[in-house]
Amino acid sequence: MSADASRLDAYWMPFTANRQFKQAPRLLTRADGMFFRDDKGREVLDGIAGLWCVNAGHNRPRIVQAIQNQAAELDFAPPFQMGHPKAFELADRLARLTPAGLNRIFFTNSGSESVETALKMAIAYHRVRGEGARTRLIGRERGYHGVNFGGISVGGMVANRKMFGSLLAGVDHIRHTHDAARNAFTVGQPAHGAEFADDLERLVALHDASTIAAVIVEPVAGSTGVLIPPQGYLQRLRDICDKHGILLIFDEVITGFGRTGQPFAAQTFGVTPDLMTVAKGLTNGCVPMGAVIAQQKIHDTFMTGPEHLIEFFHGYTYSAHPLACAAGLATLDTYAEDGLLTRAASMEAEFAQALLSLRDEPNVIDIRNIGLVGGIELKPLDGQPAKRAFDIFLDCWDQGLLIRTTGDTIALSPPLIIESGHIARIIDTLRAALRRAA
């Protein structure tokens, strides 16, 4: 399909500069491996795994086949009071990949729904075990937890907070972990900032632990500029949560499924949360699906009361959808066959070095990395925040490279099948774009 301006009007696009887009549409029509093709037949290198989700690369035959077969065999099964075999199989397979103890899986359809589910689960957990006053939720500045009301309330993104009213009551935030003055151009985890976790003690002193249900953080914040946790920070947060009986939730929607070098960032950083939210890479982006992965002790706490009653009053029509489960199983097979869940660890040094070669390019003020995640922060144009990075995004698109920008940070999160030649092409294209933008 070519872009006919009048046919673009009806679609109000999400998280998009609609008017700019419709003047010069960027239409993707095919994909394979590391590449998209656009409506003009141009090849576009995917530097962001679609949207941090196509971890095994595009159109993997095994996954495509599984979805096709499933659609022909069982199109839908109601998930309430009913089940289908692949839902149980996928949950079982996932429970074997996650850190020890995190083995009870509640399916959703997106990262945002996973976050809402986890927040509700945390509050309900305290209630069923007799601490119903623990209703307060703690997020973090510069956190992103999707777009629903719970997620934007615990999130720390100013654009969400200024647009959508007063949000959930009873939410507070610890400070973010970004410290450019001490940590700029660090390779991997920054050395400084473990003490930022102590901000939770400040909130405990203010609100009292007996009112706090949970703390939610992204192990690596992606959507607010690629912020890598300082060494020791996540462990310190874990220790403070344990001390006060507060649940720790890791939002692993972008870090899950191999992005940081282990199946989950919890394993990369050696810190186990009580609840973990996932989505995106769970089905390689092919069919919408998310999940909350709970410690067994949390699940078991709900399993009391009369056996004919619903224990957790929550769920979605499309929870554990058969197509999503089929895609999820084929995705896990593909990850296993190709060794993708640990591949980022073996590519990390090369990727980091390539990123750092951009250090002296115009307007680059910081570079951050972990696994196959990279962030390149630019000095904003005077009075026009986010414009410089957006112009570079457009330039890269013209040159056949898809990147993502958040504010003035360029984010890279390529498919985990990336090879050296692709890394070189990403960096060369970016370098030229940075120079042209100067």
Ligand X SMILES: Cc1ncc(COP(=O)(O)O)c(C=O)c1O
Q: Which residues of the chain form contacts with ligand X (CB under 6 A)?
A: 110-112, 115, 144-146, 218, 222-223, 251, 253-254, 279
Under 8 Å CB-to-CB from 210, ≥6 apart: which residues? 131, 133, 134
Q: How far is the CB of 151 from ligand X (least distance, A)?
A: 6
Instruction: Name the 3-class secondary structure at 235.
Output: helix
Minimum CB distance to ligand X smaller for 410 or for 427: 410
Rg (Cα) of the chain, in Å, rounded?
22
- Among all residues, whose Cβ is closest to ligand X? 111
CB 15 to ligand X: min, Å: 9
Closest CB to ligand X among 115 and 354?
115
**Residue whose CB is less far from ligand X, 125 or 250:** 250
Least gap, CB of 253 to ligand X (angstroms) = 4
CA distance 219 to 187: 16
Give the three-state DSSP class for 119: helix
With H, G, I as helix, E, B as strand and everything else as coil, classify residue 237.
helix
Q: Which residues pair with 275 in a beta bridge?
A: 249, 294
Q: How far is the CB of 222 from ligand X (least distance, A)?
A: 5
List the 364-370 sheet strands across, edge first: 364-370, 373-378, 409-412, 404-406
Amino acid at position 274, single letter: D
**Residue matched to tokens 């489960």:** 325
Q: Tell me the two tokens of residue 105.
A: 């899986």
Tell the smallest beta-carbon distance from residue 298 to ligand X (Å).
Answer: 20
Work out the number of other CB atoms within 10 angstroms of the CB of residue 386: 16
- Minimal distance, residue 119 CB to ligand X, in Å: 12
Distance CA 293, CA 254 (A): 15
Q: Compare residues 115 and 215 and give the one whose CB is closer to ligand X.
A: 115
Q: What's the closest the beta carbon of residue 245 comes to ligand X, in angstroms?
A: 25
Beta-bridge partner residues of 378: 364
Nearer to ligand X, 204 or 233 (CB): 233
Instruction: Assess contact for 282 and 290: CB atoms under 8 A.
Output: yes
Residue with tokens 């989505």: 279
Q: Which two tokens stand for residue 79?
A: 């998930």
Please, what is the minimum distance in Å from the beta carbon of residue 262 to ligand X? 17
Distance CA 238, CA 332 (A): 29
User: Closer to ligand X at the Cβ: 223 or 295?
Assistant: 223
Of 204 and 411, CB closest to ligand X: 411
CA-nearest of 408, 429, 322 to 364 is: 408
Cα-based angle 209, 311, 210 (whole degrees, multiple of 5): 5
Element containing residue 348 per DSSP (H, E): helix 343-356
User: Least distance in Å: CB of 284 to ligand X?
Assistant: 14
Whose Cβ is closer to ligand X: residue 209's or residue 328's? 328
Minimum CB distance to ligand X smaller for 137 or for 437: 137
Q: Select 222 or 258, whichever has its Cβ closest to ligand X.
A: 222
Beta bridge partners of 39: none
Nearer to ligand X, 119 or 433 (CB): 119
Residue 144 Cβ, how far from ligand X at the closest point, in Å?
Answer: 5
CA-to-CA distance for 425 and 415, rounded, in angstroms? 14
- Distance in Å, CB of 92 to ligand X, minimum: 23
Cα 158 off chain centre by: 18
Helix ranges (H only) for 245-321 are 265-269, 296-302
